[in-house]
């Protein structure tokens, strides 16, 4: 294993729901479901669920901090849970479903404490933060049927995440309350029309359809990184096209049935802005997808400007 890799351990209730937010993201090598914090060696799922082992369901993440900083993992963690719940998470009750951050070194401990204090001070929640910050203890892998559950049993996983109350809690707690009147002043008419009114700009008559410079594309509203020139290609459609986003966690898809078609819309997770659509006619050697985006929904930042504009941690894309 590379010396660059570190370990992070988070308990956020049911571990099925704590793998997907971290999995297949840049800088993350693997995410394992398991049990930690208790006093029983090699516990089974049934033993942990009995709340007699002291263990919590948790995920252990192997990551490269030069690509995915620990602080970014913490931000993702907080946005998956109800940190004020001291008795479990959502419909899952009991000790094994409590939340905790298990730190592996003093730097992680300090970062976790800082992030907890920042969340508390934000007044996002009216009740105090109940999530504990604890030293890491032995981590025991869960049974194979619990690994990557969101992939293996995707239909049941979606039903469970929705039915447990987690999905709606996340959506309602972390939705971006954007002042559209202020946004209208900040954006150009076409930028506002595309991002806030699900509009589409004209093909071949937009800013980035034939851009050939090195750099990244960020959300015009939030500044979140969306795409890289490394993954851009000429699809012949007249809009900037990409084979994949930089970080799949930063975008979300939605079924679009407008204009008498069934398409997959792509929206920014941070701002809920409309970005474009994804199609299955992209280069097969790169996965077969074509993310067809609107230039007006994005801002391009050239490689040599990234550090100056606060995106130095994405320079790894061009190394």
Give the HSE-up count for residue 196: Cα atoms under 13 Å, Cβ half-sphere: 21
CA 211 to chain centre: 27
Give the C-alpha distances (Å, rounded to integers) separating 83 from 17, 45, 108, 268: 15, 23, 18, 24
Our answer to whether residue 237 is catalytic in this structure is: no
Q: Which of 14, 17, 49, 237 is catalytic?
A: 14
Of 271, 255, 273, 275, the residue nearest 263 (C-alpha): 255
Give the HSE-up count for residue 105: Cα atoms under 13 Å, Cβ half-sphere: 5
Q: Which of 17, 49, 237, 292 is catalytic?
A: 292
- The H or E element spanning position 31 is strand 28-36
Tokens for 296? Answer: 């007006």
- Alpha-carbon distance 179 to 167, whole Å? 24
Give the C-alpha distances (Å, rounded to integers) separating 116 from 14, 73, 87, 111, 135: 21, 13, 18, 9, 15
What angle, 0 to 180 degrees and rounded to 10, lies between the N-to-C axes of helices 166-174 and 154-163?
A: 60
Our answer to whether residue 14 is catalytic in this structure is: yes
The answer to whether 62 and 3 have CB atoms below 8 angstroms apart is no
With tokens 């699809």, the residue in question is 235
- Alpha-carbon distance 225 to 228, whole Å? 8
Active site residues: 14, 292
């Amino acid at each position: 294993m590379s010396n660059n890799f570190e370990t992070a351990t988070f308990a956020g209730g049911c571990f099925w729901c704590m793998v997907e937010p971290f999995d297949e993201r840049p800088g993350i090598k693997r995410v394992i479901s398991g049990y930690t914090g208790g006093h029983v060696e090699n516990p089974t799922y049934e033993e942990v669920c009995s709340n007699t082992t002291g263990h919590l369901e948790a995920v252990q993440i192997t990551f490269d901090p030069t690509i995915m900083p620990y602080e970014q993992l913490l931000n993702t963690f907080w946005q998956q849970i109800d940190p004020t719940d001291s008795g479990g998470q959502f419909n899952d009750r009991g000790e094994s479903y409590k939340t905790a951050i298990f730190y592996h070194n003093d730097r992680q401990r300090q970062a976790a404490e800082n992030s907890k204090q920042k969340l508390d001070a934000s007044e996002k929640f009216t009740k105090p933060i109940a999530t504990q910050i604890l030293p890491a203890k032995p981590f025991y892998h869960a049974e194979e049927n619990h690994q990557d559950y969101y992939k293996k049993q995707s239909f049941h996983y979606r039903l469970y995440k929705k039915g447990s109350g987690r999905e709606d809690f996340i959506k309602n707690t972390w939705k971006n309350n954007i002042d559209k009147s202020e946004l209208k002043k900040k954006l150009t008419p076409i930028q506002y029309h595309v991002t806030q009114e699900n509009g589409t700009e004209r093909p071949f008559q937009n800013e980035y359809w034939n851009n050939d410079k090195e750099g990244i594309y960020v959300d015009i509203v939030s500044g979140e990184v969306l795409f890289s020139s490394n993954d851009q290609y000429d699809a012949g459609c007249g809009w900037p096209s990409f084979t994949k986003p930089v970080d799949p966690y930063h975008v979300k898809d939605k079924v679009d049935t407008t204009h008498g078609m069934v398409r997959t819309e792509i929206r920014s997770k941070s701002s809920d802005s409309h970005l474009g659509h994804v199609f299955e006619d992209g280069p097969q050697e790169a996965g077969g997808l074509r993310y067809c985006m609107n230039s007006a929904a994005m801002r391009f930042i050239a490689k040599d400007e990234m550090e100056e504009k606060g995106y130095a941690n994405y320079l790894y894309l061009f190394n």
